[in-house]
Amino acid sequence: MTIRTAVTDLTGKTAIVTGGGTGIGQETALLLARRGADVVLASRSEERLAATAEQIANETGRKAQVVATDVRDHSQVEALVDHAIASYGRLDIVVNNAGGTYLKPMQDLEILEWDRIIALNLTSVFSMTKAAIRHLEADGGGSIVNISSSSASFGTIGGAAYSAAKSGVEMLTKVSAAELSPRGIRVNCVAPGMTRSEGAERSWNRGRLDVAANELRMPLRRVAEPVEIARIVLFLVSDYASYLTGEVLHADGGPKMDGIDDV
């Protein structure tokens, strides 16, 4: 049974979640729907979105909208927002979750590959924000949550473009909040550390990343599950966070630091 409070009840609100077919995006879409929101799911894979929409329908009895969208294409992003408005008549929440990368040394990274990674992880956030502003404002304001990464703060060897893009997302969050908050639109960011998902595990395997060794460096001694990040998104879009804007919340298993080992 889903327990709702007035503060987290999203009934009557409409949310767009990009990258909504897998991982953090999927769990976020499910959680927002369980709290009463009408959800519009977007990613390039319509098949994965359909599976998420089916789960939402089974659990909540409501139909989520599925819109195949390449968030690197601004015309498709605008069409996505228009679809949300045509379907539900309003827009209240935008979760910019679409993204991804592959690990590759800078010396081997082609300029075109750099451009694609920046477009997917950073330019798409600007594009989505720009397309949503007038609708969020028209409905009395709303909330935008951008998904960054711990790579934005600490970097990732082999992930120069991704780390740079996510750093840009965090600064874009702050500037967006400064510009849009007077118009009733809050903008915040979640920066997850290693989070277990199908896409992440593929990337870890390709990069031969030692997940167990990384977990030992985390105070919580484990990587995150996607639903744990989704819960933070729910907090940020809810009235619990009504006085938060321009913030970057780090969800990375705790601070990694040197010192004595037997505390």
Taking the C-alpha atoms of residue 17 and residue 94, their distance in angstroms, rounded to an integer, is 6
Q: Over the stretch 49-94, which tens digit does the pLDDT of each residue have?
A: 999 999 999 999 989 999 999 999 999 999 999 999 999 999 999 9
pLDDT digits (tens, 9 = 90+) for 214-258: 656 656 666 779 999 999 999 999 999 999 999 999 988 777 765
Measured CA to CA, the distance from residue 245 to residue 229 in angstroms comes to 18
pTM of the complete model: 0.90
**What would the pLDDT profile of 145-177 be if each residue is shown by its tens digit?**
999 998 888 888 889 999 999 999 999 999 999
Say how many domains are in the chain: 1
Q: Rounded to an integer, what distance in angstroms lies between the CA atom of residue 223 and that of residue 197? A: 10
What CATH number did the domain enclosing 156 receive? 3.40.50.720
Helix (H) or strand (E) holding 94: strand 93-96
Distances (CA, A) of 26 to 42, 68, 230, 245: 10, 14, 9, 24
Any domain includes 9: no
Is residue 237 domain-resident? yes
**Helix 160-180 with 124-138: angle, nearest 10 deg:** 20
List CB contacts of 106: < 8 A, sequence separation 6 or more.
Answer: 160
* Residue 260, domain member (yes or no): no
- CA distance linking residue 243 with residue 223, whole number of Å: 29
Residue 259: inside a domain, yes or no? no
CA distance 86 to 164: 35
Q: Given this model, what pLDDT does residue 1 score?
A: 42
The mean pLDDT of the chain is 89
Say how many Å lie between the first and final Cα of the chain, rounded.
40
| Catalytic machinery residues | 162
Asked whether residue 258 is assigned to any structural domain, the reply reads: no
Domain for residue 227, yes or no? Answer: yes
Q: Can you give the residue range of the structural domain that contains 81?
A: 14-251
pLDDT tens per residue, range 127-153: 999 999 999 998 788 999 999 998 888
The token pair at 32 is 């927002």
Domain-embedded: residue 5? no
Q: Answer whether residue 177 is part of any domain.
A: yes
Q: What is the DSSP letter of 103?
A: -
Residue 201 main-chain phi, psi, to 5 deg: -65, -35
